[in-house]
Amino acid sequence: METLIFDLKKQIIEALNLEDITPDDIDTNAPLFVEGLGLDSIDALELIVLMEKQYGIKLEDPGKSKEIFRSVATMADYISKNRKK
Amino acid sequence: MGVYIQAAAQISVQNPLCDDWLDNPIQYQVPYQRAIEADYRQFLDPVASRRMGRILKRAIATSMTVVTSSGITNPDAIIVGTGLGCLETTERFLLALVQEGEEFLQPTNFINSTHNTIASHIAVHLKCNAYNSTYVHLGVSFESALLDAFMQFQLGRIHSALVGGHDELIPNYFYILDKVGFWEGKLASECAVSFMLSDKPGNHPMARIREVVLLHDADEKRLDDAINQVCERLSTVRKDWISPPSVRPIFGESFTSQAFEMYAAAVKMQRGLIADNILLINQYRGTETSLIFLSKC
């Protein structure tokens, strides 16, 4: 799981072009949106693309997105259970 | 009615957001040179800037500079001319389209790939809901934007306008145009120039725009006729208007290079380094011609 979390942080930094931020700067359990990294709705779209591109996960139920994208930890947990690649 | 240049700012192959080029222009011996970037942190917070390509950052930086210099924070119009728009983001988006088989396309690249992204980003940044328009007419894109502003001033519809010429040049596009001999040995480069215009001279106007003319497929006679007509309207004669040496060897060639010509003329005019009446002529590829008449204030 640790490797997945580290890779995920790197992928988030790259996808969202978070200059000057390293994986170590991202708190695994901190909220991704509004607080924490302060992401917004366009970032959510980028993360959906990231999940599909890197892990083959298509988010079918938009209602679950809020829970899945709450933090890096919740994203990693969902990926580990649903990844297709 | 007068149209006055209140402030002007550039980002180019010369030092950004200053007039260093006047005394110490940087010389280049290469066919292609990208612009020298400004420190964008003073204009944009990191969250906002991370979604912006270079052309957007340059447009915001030059726009904010003229807003600050002129004190006009909420112009009546934002009008941008761009030959190629957000080329870098467009290339990124199209490459992803090809490489990923039309899947996994990043929304930010899509959002920022359109030409009117530049004017709209400036508006969002300034929180300006006024008239917002983009002109994409290759070598006369900037002059088209300027003409729009000038006509609206004449009609009394606006009292201030933020007008810009913005283009970026990615390596692939340089090479493609280079292969067909487009650059003709000139320095291929990028352009980011913003002007704040108003219908009041204010305290320190740089120059007055007397007339803007666009001509299509004009031969020499039609060009002369157009110039003479303007001279007559302005109660002057042809010899009153001087066309200075081009500054393109200093700033480089791009689709909106004429913005540099107007910028340089205005800077020099304000400092008394140039004639009092200037006529800037741009003849793009033999088909499009623009005339900008500038006078000292």
The answer to whether residue B117 scores a pLDDT higher than 80 is yes
Q: What is the mean pLDDT of residues A30-39?
A: 86
Residue ranges and CATH numbers for the domains of chain A are 2-82 (1.10.1200.10)
Cβ proximity of B160 and B150 under 8 Å: no
A53 vs B256 pLDDT, higher one: B256
Question: B51 touching A, CB under 8 A?
Answer: yes
Q: Say whether B108 and A42 touch across the interface (CB within 8 A).
A: yes
Last residue of a domain, one of B130, B163, B198: B198
Total structural domains within chain B? 2
Q: What is the pLDDT of residues B188-229, one digit of tens each?
A: 999 999 999 999 999 999 999 999 999 999 999 999 999 999
Asked if B99 has any chain A CB less than 8 Å from its own CB, the reply is no
The verdict on B128 and B232 lying in the same domain is no
Question: A25-57 as b/e, with b when 16 or more CB fall inside 10 Å?
Answer: ebebeeebbeeebebeeebbebbbbbbebbbeb
Q: Is a pLDDT exceeding 90 seen at residue B29?
A: yes
What is the nearest CA distance from A2 to chain B, expressed in angstroms? Answer: 26
- Sheet with B277-284, side-by-side order of all strands: B131-135, B77-81, B160-167, B191-198, B3-11, B207-216, B288-295, B277-284
- What integer pLDDT is reported at residue B48 of this predicted model? 79
User: Phi, psi (5° rounding) for residue B277?
Assistant: -125, 120
Whether residue A20 has pLDDT greater than 80: no
Average pLDDT for residues B163-174, to the nearest whole number? Answer: 97
B9 and B153, same domain (yes or no): yes
Q: How confident is the model at residue A21 (pLDDT cuts 50, 70, 90)?
A: confident
CB contacts, 8 Å: A19 with chain B: 46, 50
The boundaries of the domain holding residue B97 are 3-198
Last residue of a domain, one of B177, B198, B219: B198
Same-domain pairing of B31 and B49:
yes
Are B38 and B121 part of one and the same domain? yes
pLDDT recorded at residue B107: 87
DSSP for B13-49, please give it. Answer: SSPTTS-HHHHSPPP--SSB-PPPP--GGGTS-HHHH
Beta bridge partners of B160: B198
- On whether both B212 and B263 belong to a single domain, the answer is yes
The pLDDT value recorded for residue B81 is 98
**Do B257 and B121 belong to one domain?**
no
Do residues B158 and B220 share a domain?
Answer: no
- Asked if B107 lies within 8 A of A53 by C-beta distance, the reply is no
Query: Per-residue pLDDT tens for A54-83?
Result: 999 998 887 888 899 999 999 999 999 999
Element (H, E) at B258: helix B258-270
- Cα torsion for B214, B216, B221, B223, to the nearest 10°? 20
Residues B37, B161, single domain; the answer is: yes
Burial B203-239 (b: 16+ CB within 10 A, else e): eebbbbbbbbbbbeebeeeebeebbeebbeeeeeeee
CB-defined contacts A:B, below 8 A: 27
Task: Find chain B residues with C-beta within 8 A of A53's C-beta.
Answer: 100, 103-104
Question: Which residues pair with residue B79 across a beta bridge?
Answer: B133, B163
Note the pLDDT tens digit of each residue in B233-251: 999 999 999 999 999 999 9
- The verdict on B161 and B226 lying in the same domain is no
User: What sign results for the dihedral spanned by CA atoms B112, B117, B118, B121?
Assistant: negative
Pair B30, B157 in one domain:
yes
pLDDT at B292 over 80: yes
Question: Residue A84's CB: how many other CB atoms inside 10 A?
Answer: 8
Q: Of the given ranges (A18-22, B106-110, B191-195, B210-214), which has the lowest mean pLDDT?
A: A18-22
B231, B115: one domain: no
Mean pLDDT for chain B overall: 96
Say yes or no to pLDDT of B46 above 80: no
Q: What is the DSSP letter of B244?
A: P
Give me the numbers of helices (H) and strands (E) for chain B, helices first please: 11, 8
* Closest to B198 measured CA to CA, from B69, B291, B82, B289: B69
Residue A17: its pLDDT value, please?
Answer: 86
Chain A hits for B107, Cβ within 8 Å = 42, 45-46, 49
Whole-number pLDDT of residue A10? 96
Q: Is A46 helix (H, G, I), strand (E, B) or coil?
A: helix
Domain containing residue B99: CATH number: 3.40.47.10
Six-digit token string for B258: 């004429």
Single out the residue in B171, B198, B225 at which a domain terminates.
Answer: B198
Whether residue B213 is found in the same domain as residue B182: no
